[in-house]
Chains A and B, each alone.
Chain A
């Protein structure tokens, strides 16, 4: 089975712009979660989508949004970029149910905001 794929792998933007990142989960996985990784804050949960619905959201401003399509692919969008949004954005899809649930991560999209 192919793993979680994320595109693009690298991105450079300037302050004030917006960006869209894409994630394709492992085939058959319906849940997609997004995380931000920075040296200062570590790994922080952004949001989770299941069957095209956002089910959980972390403590991030409204500039961060996402969506999920009927084929389970997900996108996240960051509007009005700030320098502090520079980070590695990781997507994960979930297998199993209940206590057996396990997240599998993609390689990430590294965003640099100048």
Chain B
């Protein structure tokens, strides 16, 4: 079945450091890929998405590129801020069924001032 594997956390960085959170996937079809972020005590917020190979999703300084050859969708940010501290989830949906997302286990990011 479809699955998403995320880099184990937690990740602790200093403010202005470079962030990478690895995400790889297994899917039978041609999935759309998503990154969601969850702040403490809140639901999930869509951070960015990509719907086909070589697409780059970007938002709020975060970027991720859909790499079909490596089945990856790594999240990157050039300079993190304390306000980026949250849990990040990588997710996929097989074409036509985005209403059923398969999530990775989440990566806790803490950014220290």
Using a CB–CB cutoff of 8 Å, the interface residues on chain A facing chain B are 4, 6, 31, 33, 35, 42-43, 45, 48, 50, 55-56, 58, 90, 92, 94, 96, 98-108
- Hey, which chain B residues are within 8 Å of A45, CB to CB? 100-102
- Hey, which chain B residues are within 8 Å of A106, CB to CB? 43
Kindly state whether residue B49 has any CB partner on chain A within 8 Å. yes
- Hey, which chain A residues are within 8 Å of B34, CB to CB? 102
Known: A43-B103, A99-B51, A101-B32. A107 touches B42 (CB 8 A): yes
Q: How far is the CB of A75 from chain B (nearest CB, A)?
A: 17
Using a CB–CB cutoff of 8 Å, the interface residues on chain B facing chain A are 32, 34, 36, 42-46, 49, 51-52, 89, 93, 95-106
Contact A50 B43, beta carbon cutoff 8 Å: no
* Given contact pairs A43-B89, A92-B101, A99-B95, a sample of 8 additional A-B residue pairs in the complex whose CB atoms are under 8 Å apart: A33-B101, A42-B105, A43-B103, A56-B97, A56-B100, A99-B32, A99-B96, A103-B98
Known: A45-B101, A50-B99, A56-B100. A104 touches B46 (CB 8 A): yes
A-B contact pairs, 11 of them (CB 8 A): A42-B105, A45-B100, A48-B99, A56-B97, A90-B43, A94-B98, A105-B36, A105-B45, A105-B46, A107-B42, A108-B42
The answer, among B89, B99, B103, B106, for a CB contact under 8 Å with A31, is: B99
Known: A42-B106, A99-B32, A101-B93. A108 touches B43 (CB 8 A): yes
Known: A56-B97, A99-B51. A42 touches B43 (CB 8 A): no
Total inter-chain residue pairs, C-beta < 8 Å: 66
Contact A48 B105, beta carbon cutoff 8 Å: no
Contact B43 A100, beta carbon cutoff 8 Å: no
Q: How far is the CB of A107 from chain B (nearest CB, A)?
A: 4
- Hey, which chain B residues are within 8 Å of A90, CB to CB? 43-44
Contact A98 B96, beta carbon cutoff 8 Å: yes
Contact B100 A99, beta carbon cutoff 8 Å: no
Q: How far is the CB of A68 from chain B (nearest CB, A)?
A: 12
